[in-house]
């Protein structure tokens, strides 16, 4: 249901929404705090962090990495 809502808003996937929220966390609170709105900056940071957590909970887990076989021998010869 949440991913359908994101697609209606215009995001192609949950990754796009997380990227957008992370950019917001980096820019919006800092600009608000620099302009003198300390409480507004703090509130916006908390809200954006909560939104990022909510969106991240809906993201599917990453596929497991393939194990690389190491071609090196276990015991190296001494020189």
Which tens digit of pLDDT belongs to each residue from 20-56? Answer: 888 888 899 999 999 999 999 999 999 999 988 888 8
pTM value is 0.61
The residue-averaged pLDDT of 52-62 equals 82
Query: How high is the pLDDT of residue 76?
Result: 64
- pLDDT of 2 above 70: no
pLDDT-above-90 percentage for the chain: 27
Q: Tokens 């209606």 correspond to what residue?
A: 8
CA dihedral (55, 56, 60, 63) positive or negative: positive
Please, are residues 59 and 14 in contact by the beta-carbon 8 Å criterion? Answer: yes
CA dist., res. 27 & res. 9, Å (int): 21
* CB-CB neighbours of 55 under 10 Å: 20
């Amino acid at each position: 249901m949440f991913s359908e809502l994101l697609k209606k808003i215009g995001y192609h996937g949950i990754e796009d929404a997380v990227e957008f929220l992370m950019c917001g966390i980096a820019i919006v609170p800092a600009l608000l705090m620099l302009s003198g709105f300390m409480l507004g900056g703090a509130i916006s940071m908390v809200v954006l962090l909560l939104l990022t957590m909510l969106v991240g909970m809906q993201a599917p887990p990453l596929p497991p990495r393939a194990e690389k076989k190491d071609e090196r021998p276990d015991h190296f010869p001494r020189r």
